[in-house]
Structure 1
Amino acid sequence: MDIKKIETLDMALMQASKKIKVLQALQWPLGAEEKFLEGWRKGNPQLPEANLERRDYSDSIAALEEISARCDHDDVVEKFLSETAQSYAYSGRMLQAVGTPDFTTYSTKIYGRPDTLYKLQGMSAVDGAKFFLEVTDSLLGNVHLPPTPADISAQDFAGWLKAEVDEFFCHDTVEVVIDKSLSSKALAGATRIRVRGSALFSQLDKDQLLFHEAYVHTATMLNGRKQSNLKSLSLGAPRTTRTQEGLAVMAELITNAMDINRLRRVALRVLAVKQALDGADFIEVFKFFLDAGQSEEESVRSAQRIFRGGHVKGGIVFTKDAVYLQGLIEVHTFMRVAIRDNRPDLIRNLFAGRLTLADALRLAPHFESGWLKPPTYLPGWASDLRRLAAVMAYSAFVSFIKLEKVYLERAIEFEEELNAV
């Protein structure tokens, strides 16, 4: 390993990636959502106007591709640097192509497509989304599932969240700010978590956003900043988005912070991305979310997320929203296999910075040697690997139970069979 070369490339990557901020560049104009809903409610919906400025990232792209070309892929650290630089270069090219087919071409290079088959499983994220929706469809409106009231203001939520992050991030300062233009309820960075000013939050939202945004996204970025030998582990590199979101959704599930509506939102986004790729326009995607039970406000925000940077007539879309379910499937499987193969250390490595699953595996020798540091901030569910191992081991076992052969009355039959013995 050429330490001096890695240090030079690492610093160059930190500098060259600074100007490429994907979500910031794809924000819709203020008032676009309200204007669309005004027309919708009058019975005259019009495709929204969301023409985004195409910025020139040529200098950044050239610098990033030059960094990538200098890396030796036989060295795992240089391979990490090369692939990270290339993902930023793809993002720059994507942002230069907003509103054109090339936008989606680069989006799928970075985030993938929801209909891509997992080679060894013969299924796609679309298949997974359909399964979750089929299972939960019959539960919607069930009197045994009381609704979750959302009556906590953004101001009150932000105050509560600030107290929680101050306690957890005891060596760093993390701000919590209210942002009226945010499309999601919360968005985390290394030193700042933004909260949507117009949103109302439920008690369940509090846990979900704490474990997802703060204890995963902010934690991994801060942990990456503490890597003295590889500073670029602190970058929110586009190539790490799938693993990051998968890890964050996994955190919601394992801490019981996810409810049926949240699970359905994740699944619906996958199908909506697929529909938009196949040509559905903004109004059709909006109606899809609305028909699935979302409010008008949430439906327009959900549709907006998919068309940001694309074209509201369909076919040109931002595919990022499909990675939440894809990432969950991949992270959950990775953790199960890591436990099966007696490699729980790989799970801890995922929190040491912004990494992909492959990075955690390839860089494992450098964590073992101490060249890379273990995470400073680790959420409770991931810090006790013995407990996590028990959950993953049980999860692996129950996957063998064939539910299609089981029905509720079987519980009575089984008991009678035991008593007859």
Structure 2
Amino acid sequence: MVEKHLLDSARVLSERLVALQSPIRVLDAINWDRSVRDEFFKHKGERLPAIDQNYYKSRNLGFDPVELRHGFSQLQRDIVKELGQLSPITQLMSRACREYKDVIRMLESRGTPDFHELSVELYGHPDDKFHAGEPTLSELASMLQEPLSGLLSTNALPEEDKDIEAADAVEKLQAQLNSSMSELSVQVMLSDGIVSDASAGSDRIKLNQGVKFSQRELDILEVHEGWIHVGTTQNGLKQPYLTSLSKGTPSATVTQEGLAVLTEIVTLRSTPRRLNKLVQRIQAVAMAASGANFIDVYRDGLERGMSPDESYTLTQRVFRGSTPDGMPFTKDLAYIKGFVLVYNLIQVAIQRGRIERLPLLLSGKLAVDDFALICELHDAGVVSAPAYVPPHFKDLRGLATWLSFNRFLGGFSFAQLEQDYRALIT
């Protein structure tokens, strides 16, 4: 067990980390104003948006980058001084300090080539591979799109109508969360200040008041934004010492999105169109990383069947923080990349008979690479088990069975199966 005075020091240092990162708002710092969209469509999508380094300089970050970087460096030194360099708490919190300093550098570099390079360091690149000789993230996305294309072309799997007004969607989603997350207080509210359809905070989910929703979309928001994003934030806030686990670094964001996508799938909320949207994000990032500009990516989206508004929204996600003829912001790789990392971790835990460890993934916002440290700190009484655990992690029998059979079935040759069963599927 860790000595009491060290735990007290860890709590104080953790609170300092929370306070230091509080003014950092990555998406607020890089999103484009609504006027950029209006101007783009005014010119019928034929003129690059007027975004350059000066555009970003006109948007206040809300903090002094030099001063804040110094604050993280000082905190990192104090962590080592008070807890020791080899302490697992030190390793966990020092990693967070390093990542936040890289985030600050990235935001300082908005509108320059360095923005993309730092984005790649934090979130990855579409040409990344999990192992030598395996497909890249971009290639994995293309492989996933092949079966999705067939599913999207059939009339047997129609998408539900978006016929729920935002105000009604708030009431419906609130009722769902009151039932499935009764242990926590989660508020659903309308917002006109978000770019996406929905976003999650520490204890609330905001729905874009200008958007209509389908019931399926609300079901996805319940598990993705509610069970995972809000749930892990609240679990982090309830930690007795490491409250900094309530705040997500970029590497933790990858894990978070992977957990959220896995949850959508295993709870049968997701749809082929939803997964296709995640695939299209990777393809758009890969296209921009290969030199395509904003108009190239936008037109490609139209050719893939998106509406002008959908294609613009996707393309803006790719180029936010950068320039319309620059290299991409790579955060949208997190969904599929995180899914693969989390899925593989769960598979190995099942194989090694350590499935009881898996709920610790929800003890806060943590990176897969830090999971061993989290387990060690849990055993030492530093990290507590998650206060809120969603149903599919609360009773692991279904998840374990599904993944075990999935691994078993994955050993079959699909080419041979297709040949054997082709005559039966007409």
TM-score (normalizing by structure 2): 0.91
For residue 37 of structure 2, what is the aligned residue in structure 1? Answer: 33
CA–CA distance in 1 between the matches of 2:171 and 2:419?
Answer: 45
Secondary structure in structure 2 of the residue aligned to 1:152: coil
Residue 136 of structure 1 pairs with residue 148 of structure 2: yes
Query: What's the counterpart of residue 263 of structure 1?
Result: 275
State the shift of 1:189 in Å. Answer: 1.2
Is 1:195 the counterpart of 2:196 in the alignment?
no
CA distance in 1: counterparts of 2:248 and 2:152, whole angstroms: 36
Task: State the match for 2:124 in structure 1.
Answer: 112
Q: What amino acid sits opposite 2:48 in the alignment?
A: L
C-alpha distance in 1 between matches for 2:110 and 2:400: 44
- Give the counterpart letter for 1:58 in structure 2: V
Partner of 2:392: 381
1:118-147 CA distance string (max 9 Å, x none): 125622211110001122223333233323
Deviation at 1:73, TM superposition (A): 4.6
Superposed CA offset, 1:68-118 (max 9, x none): 344345221111100111111111111111000111121111111121111
After superposition, what is the alpha-carbon deviation per residue over 1:44-68, rounded to whole angstroms, capped at 9, x for unaligned?
6211234222644211111112223
Q: In structure 2, what is the equivalent of residue 311 of structure 1?
A: 323
Q: How many Å apart are 1:173 and its aligned residue?
A: 3.0
Taking a change above 3 Å as real, the CA distance of residues 146 and 169 of structure 1, as seen in their structure-2 partners, is closer
Does the CA-based 8 Å contact 1:54-1:95 persist in structure 2?
no
Write the deviation string for residues 229-279 of structure 1: whole angstroms up to 9, x where unpaired.
111011122220100000000011111111111111111111111111222
User: Is the Cα contact below 8 Å between 1:278 and 1:314 reproduced in 2?
Assistant: no
Q: Distance in 2 between matches of 1:240 and 1:73?
A: 22
TM-score by structure 1 length? Answer: 0.92
Distance 1:4 1:120 in 2: 44
1:64 aligns with 2:65: no
Q: Map of 1:5-404 to 2, 5 A cutoff?
A: 5-40=9-44, 45-50=46-51, 51-52=55-56, 53=59, 55=61, 56-70=64-78, 71=80, 72-119=84-131, 122-315=134-327, 317-404=328-415
Partner AA of 1:15 in structure 2: A
* DSSP 3-state at the match of 2:225: helix
Contact 2:199 2:205 in 1 (8 A): yes
- Is the 8 Å Cα contact of residues 106 and 118 (structure 2) preserved in structure 1? yes
Counterpart Cα distance in 2 of 1:181 and 1:275 = 29
Question: More deviation in 49-58 or 358-367?
Answer: 49-58
Instruction: Count residues with an aligned counterpart.
Output: 410
**CA distance in structure 1 between the partners assigned to 2:69 and 2:211 by the alignment:** 37
- In structure 2, list runs of 5 or more residues that go unmatched: none
Specify whether residues 69 and 288 from structure 1 end up closer, same or farther in structure 2 by C-alpha distance, changes over 3 A only: farther
Deviations 1:7-39 (A, max 9, x none): 342122112111111112222112322332232
2:7 paired with 1:3: yes
Q: Secondary structure at the match of 1:210?
A: helix
Structure 2 distance, partners of 1:47, 1:115, is 26
More contact order relative to length (CA 8 Å, sep ≥ 6): 2
The residue matched to 1:406 in structure 2 has which SS?
Answer: helix
Change (3 A) 1:408 1:119: closer
Q: Deviations over 1:185-219 (max 9, x none)?
A: 21111122111222221121111111100110000
Shift of 1:410: 2.8
Runs of 4+ in structure 1 off by over 4 angstroms are none
CA distance in 2, matches of 1:302, 1:81: 34
Residue type at the aligned position of 1:372: V
Aligned 8 A contact 2:183 2:388 in 1: no
Secondary structure, aligned partner of 1:138:
helix
- In the alignment, structure 1 segments of 5+ residues that lack a partner are 414-421
Q: Assess, with a 3 A threshold, how the Cα gap between structure 1 residues 63 and 402 changes in structure 2: closer, same or farther.
A: same
What is the percent sequence identity of the aligned residues? 30
More divergent stretch after superposition (216-225 vs 121-130): 121-130
